Structure 1
Amino acid sequence: MESWKVNLISVWFGCFFTGLAISQILPFLPLYISQLGVHSHEALSMWSGFTFSITFLVSAVVAPWWGSLADRKGRKLMLLRASLGMAVTILLQAFATNVWQLFILRGVMGLTSGYIPNALALVASQAPRERSGWAISTLSTAQISGVIVGPLMGGILADNFGLRPVFLLTSALLMVSFLVTLFLIKERARPVQNKAGQLSGKAVFKALPYPFLIVSLCVTTLVIQLCNGSIGPILALFIKYLDPGSNNIAFMSGLIAAIPGIPALLAAPRLGRLGDRIGTDKILMGALVFAVVLFFSMSFVATPVQLAVLRFLLGFADGAMLPAVQTLLVKYSTEQVTGRIFGYNQSFMYMGNVVGPLMGASVSAIIGFRWVFVVTGVVVVLNILQFALVLRKRNQLAAARREG
């Protein structure tokens, strides 16, 4: 088997365990904070927000630096650093005795981030360009699978064995990622010999054929994550609003939250392969338009079943959008700076994870649940307009270069 395919299979399992590990903890953080002695509603909400956000904020700051280091020192080293670092910090979280210790450890965890973007960069740099869309889309199914399985596994563990064992199992799974990376992943003997890692951010973008397109794709990544996160804070409350007499709100919320992962898992490789044939930018634009239609439709639902159906359909767009962005980043950058570009994109992704829930909670508090879907749809429309303008500019420049 070709070495890039072996690496793809290996990092698939590494990304699966990473996605599973992170997702099985996040739903239970407020319960763990309560267990650490924070009980009032106001304080619990505040600390839950802080401990959730600090990881992504720190990650957003350090992601470009890790990307630069990956370009200079190699991506396998960064994969080992991220998996081992997360394993250790999550293990320590299991033994936290107060909320301040948990908060600090969650911040340190942000410093250890970067497994998934470095895995993407590794696969992108080794897969043949004509198959990069399929390879990246296939790899994206790993994280999606982990996010589907993680909350279910975490819930079973928490109900039967308590919250601290969830952290212990999560740490063990990340050690599996570390061992898979250490023994199975093969990288070229030496990263590309150049000084790209020492270039300033401005110099890196000046070296790109279409730097404005890279910026646009990073903004699109932020919008995609913002859309995914804006619904999270209000989902359970909205379901309760739609069906106030239900006795299984928690189960319905978990099901409706997870359901987009199933079509995303099935669609991602197929849409990636289709993008390789007809153009990845067309797949991305189509998925964004489809998402707009679904978000506006969600604002009119009358039952949880209708919401579940629309969320299921949204999964097909989810399976196309981020892989398409990542494929375009590969296509319009060079191997010498791929790690740096993916690091910048990861920063935008983390910021979307922070801004999305804040936007959703604020809109629902001010003007109501349904307006969260409307505002989210409007944000996607604005992104479609900016992306369309950028594609038009790219086409004009490409035509001018051909004529010149």
Structure 2
Amino acid sequence: MPLWKRNLLVCWFGMFVTGIGMSQIAPVLPLFIRQLGISSSGEINKISGLAFGITYIVSAIFSPVWGYAADKVGRKPMLLRASLGMGVIVFCMGFAPNVYVLIVLRLLQGAITGYSTACTTLIATQTDKEHAGYALGTLSTANVAGSLLGPTIGGFIEDRIGLQPVFFITGALMFVAFLTTLLFVKENFIKEEKKQLRFREIWNSVPEKQLTVVLSVTLFIITFGLYSIEPIVTVYVGKLSSETSHVALIAGLVFSASGLANVISAPRLGRLSDRIGVHKVILFALIAAGVIYIPQAFVTNPWQLMGLRFLLGLTLGGLNPSVNTLIKKITPGHLTGRIFGITISAGYLGVFLGAVMGGQISAAFGIRHVFYITSALLLFNAVWVYFNVYKKLEKQKQ
């Protein structure tokens, strides 16, 4: 097996598990907070939003730091640090005696992340151009699928054996990711002896600044759209379903439908982007996703919502790998880790603001307005991409 394929396989598993670890708490978080002694539904909603979102906002801050470290000392050390650290922290969440300790652990989880940044940089720098779209497309399914399947896994474990085992099992899986990374990932890393560059110097050396900004904003909007529904999906499913005893599990299945579809479509759309151009796939996927969000506001049962979320996942599968492939093409090799750190931070920021704004919009205007606003954002982004990415790259081809 070629080295890039073996690394891809191990990184896929690791990113999948860490994606689960970042998201498995979503459907069980309100239940766990209630178990820790908070009885008011208003307080539970506020604390749930804080505990969920704080991981991602801290991750957005630290992701460029770990991207820089990956460029300086190698990507494998960053993979080992992140997988082991997250495994220990998530395992400890199961022993949290109160909500304050839980929030602190969620904050630490955000600070120790960096597995996705290091994996993306490793695969981008050690895969030949011919297979870059396929490799990054396949890799992107891991984090997205883990993040979207996490709620189902968490809901299923809670439904069967209780809340605390959700954290213990996820922590153990992360330790397995640490071991597989330690044993099987091989990196041909050559440290470049250059002076430390400030952010301004790094930014000035990026040849396609406008494209980098547009792509970072696109990643932000993609994740904003995906996670705008996460804090409210349990409430929405509760209104749509008569199965009140299994709301957490059904909500997890609804949200995870996108993850399954993403796993199916991302490698195929990655190959397609290698053939027809990543800018075409990005534009089509943004338009399709924006349209599919609208009927989600009009569903009458959870299964209709699940079907539409599956279709949404098929379209979004073309976005992350295409954006990452284009970033790789326009970024100098010695800056890849730092630029991926910045773009991944944009994604984490989208998760945080999506979760927070989704809750705020639903509280102020109703749940259905979350879908309307998200659709408008995606379609606006599609217009922006058309004028600043699609037309520019089409003109360069002529």
TM-score, length of structure 2 as denominator length: 0.93
RMSD over equivalenced CA pairs, Å: 2.3
Query: Does 1:201 find its partner at 2:199?
Result: yes
Write the distance in 1 (CA, Å) between the matches of 2:323 and 2:223. 12
Q: Does structure 1 retain, via aligned residues, the 8 Å contact 2:27–2:248?
A: no
The equivalences for 1:183-332 within 5 A come to 183-195=183-195, 198-242=196-240, 249-332=247-330
Query: Does 1:150 find its partner at 2:180?
Result: no
**Aligned in 2, Cα 1:154/1:334: closer, same or farther, shift over 3 Å?**
same
AA in 2 matched with 1:225: T
AA in 2 matched with 1:378: A
Partner residue in 2 for 1:378: 376
Write the distance in 2 (CA, Å) between the matches of 1:154 and 1:256. 13
The equivalences for 1:43-82 within 5 A come to 43-82=43-82
Q: Does structure 2 retain, via aligned residues, the 8 Å contact 1:291–1:314?
A: yes
1:135-166 deviations in Å (ceiling 9; x for gaps): 01111222344345533433343334332222
Of the structure 1 ranges 131-140 and 89-98, higher mean CA displacement relative to structure 2 is found in 89-98
Q: What SS does the corresponding residue of 2:37 show, helix, strand or coil?
A: coil
Q: Does structure 2 retain, via aligned residues, the 8 Å contact 1:15–1:143?
A: yes
Write the distance in 1 (CA, Å) between the matches of 2:164 and 2:9. 31
Q: What SS does the corresponding residue of 2:28 show, helix, strand or coil?
A: helix
AA in 2 matched with 1:174: M
**Displacement of 1:299:** 3.1
**Aligned in 2, Cα 1:101/1:133: closer, same or farther, shift over 3 Å?**
same
Of the structure 1 ranges 353-362 and 296-305, higher mean CA displacement relative to structure 2 is found in 296-305
AA in 1 matched with 2:271: R
> Percent of aligned positions with the same letter in both sequences?
41
Query: Does 1:34 find its partner at 2:34?
Result: yes
Write the distance in 1 (CA, Å) between the matches of 2:284 and 2:316. 11
Write the distance in 2 (CA, Å) between the matches of 1:174 and 1:300. 38
Of the structure 1 ranges 161-170 and 144-153, higher mean CA displacement relative to structure 2 is found in 144-153
Write the distance in 1 (CA, Å) between the matches of 2:154 and 2:232. 21
Write the distance in 2 (CA, Å) between the matches of 1:141 and 1:78. 20
1:41-100 deviations in Å (ceiling 9; x for gaps): 222222212211221121111111111111111111111110111112122222221221
Write the distance in 2 (CA, Å) between the matches of 1:241 and 1:44. 18
Of the structure 1 ranges 57-66 and 236-245, higher mean CA displacement relative to structure 2 is found in 236-245
Q: Does structure 1 retain, via aligned residues, the 8 Å contact 2:228–2:356?
A: yes
Where structure 2 has 5 or more consecutive residues not aligned to the other structure, the ranges are: none
Write the distance in 2 (CA, Å) between the matches of 1:221 and 1:299. 23
Q: Does structure 2 retain, via aligned residues, the 8 Å contact 1:15–1:116?
A: yes
Write the distance in 2 (CA, Å) between the matches of 1:308 and 1:37. 32
Q: What SS does the corresponding residue of 2:21 show, helix, strand or coil?
A: helix
**Aligned in 2, Cα 1:380/1:278: closer, same or farther, shift over 3 Å?**
same
Q: What SS does the corresponding residue of 1:366 show, helix, strand or coil?
A: helix
Partner residue in 2 for 1:134: 134
Partner residue in 2 for 1:116: 116
AA in 1 matched with 2:166: V
Partner residue in 2 for 1:342: 340
Write the distance in 2 (CA, Å) between the matches of 1:314 and 1:157. 26
Q: Does structure 1 retain, via aligned residues, the 8 Å contact 2:151–2:253?
A: no
Q: Does structure 2 retain, via aligned residues, the 8 Å contact 1:194–1:336?
A: no
**Displacement of 1:18:** 1.6
**Aligned in 2, Cα 1:332/1:28: closer, same or farther, shift over 3 Å?**
same
**Displacement of 1:36:** 1.9
Write the distance in 1 (CA, Å) between the matches of 2:181 and 2:44. 38
**Aligned in 2, Cα 1:217/1:189: closer, same or farther, shift over 3 Å?**
closer
Write the distance in 2 (CA, Å) between the matches of 1:247 and 1:48. 20
Write the distance in 2 (CA, Å) between the matches of 1:100 and 1:242. 33
**Displacement of 1:283:** 0.4
Q: Does structure 2 retain, via aligned residues, the 8 Å contact 1:82–1:112?
A: yes
TM-score, length of structure 1 as denominator length: 0.91
Q: Does structure 2 retain, via aligned residues, the 8 Å contact 1:210–1:394?
A: no
Partner residue in 1 for 2:164: 164
User: Number of paired residues?
Assistant: 398
Partner residue in 2 for 1:387: 385
Q: Does structure 2 retain, via aligned residues, the 8 Å contact 1:213–1:394?
A: no
**Displacement of 1:397:** 8.5
**Aligned in 2, Cα 1:240/1:9: closer, same or farther, shift over 3 Å?**
closer
Q: Does structure 2 retain, via aligned residues, the 8 Å contact 1:22–1:170?
A: no
1:356-403 deviations in Å (ceiling 9; x for gaps): 12222222222222222111111112212222222267449958xx9x
**Displacement of 1:310:** 1.9
**Aligned in 2, Cα 1:118/1:17: closer, same or farther, shift over 3 Å?**
same
